[in-house]
Structure 1
């Protein structure tokens, strides 16, 4: 016996459903201009999708393009070490990778233990997230800073 899998969106149905438990919680939604199609009608009128239409479904949407809004190599600029001394912590470099962003932060060596985190935004600071940084043992040999 052969088994098949069908997804709701391929039948023209929604992928999610909303359930309300209290009548007072029902949203006020304007009536649509046209009534929704009945499931039986979808089987009669729907043509099979072309391969180009299936590409986003099969492969997913393209990943977002991450691009810093600042120079990607601030550590290569003149006076970088002095700025680290002055501000105690500075971004050294950053690059976009398929899985996200990768970079290095230079920290003034004030104590043996340090805690560094990186705060970032994807919507111009309407919201932000913070991730802890990991120490890189193969850092600069100047003794003044860590990475």
Structure 2
């Protein structure tokens, strides 16, 4: 076909002059060229102090594929949903038992209870629930000096919408008495706050 005959083949540049003269001591040199006879390769010498020139397109592509920086996610902790217990002495006189202080970490609630009773065999306990009072557990508190008791409740890992509710009970020869935050119970819900333990103390 005609257009095939019109195509021209690319030619290599001629070898060096010494090769054309047939100098037996000279070695032939081959140089590649394009269709216009221009060299296909350039030789550039670099210094160790030279700064490399990276095209902007390459840099932008590199930034696009860089791995994202790891993100840290705060862990939810139990936060109190009741005001700080105040005037435990007065409340203990009125209702025989009162929450004096509470200390909470991510997986534990510990507290101190103040009592006013003449019964040396009085039993103090904490009633708590993890399922909004569908069921509950009664755990005895431990007697310590000066009419006080301490308790500890281990909290299992719960989903962020969960809560821990509890109330304090006293059983003695005089009857049964409660400190349930005036009927509202003492509650902790998961939220994002200070990562260390939260403490409430009697004023």
The structure with the greater share of residues assigned to helix is 1
Which TM bucket (shorter chain)? Answer: 0.3 to 0.5
The structure with more radius of gyration: 2
Instruction: Tell me the TM-score normalized by structure 2.
Output: 0.33
Q: Under a length normalisation based on structure 1, what TM-score does the superposition of the two structures give?
A: 0.43
Query: Which has the bigger relative contact order, CA under 8 A and spacing at least 6?
Result: 2
Higher share of residues assigned strand: 2
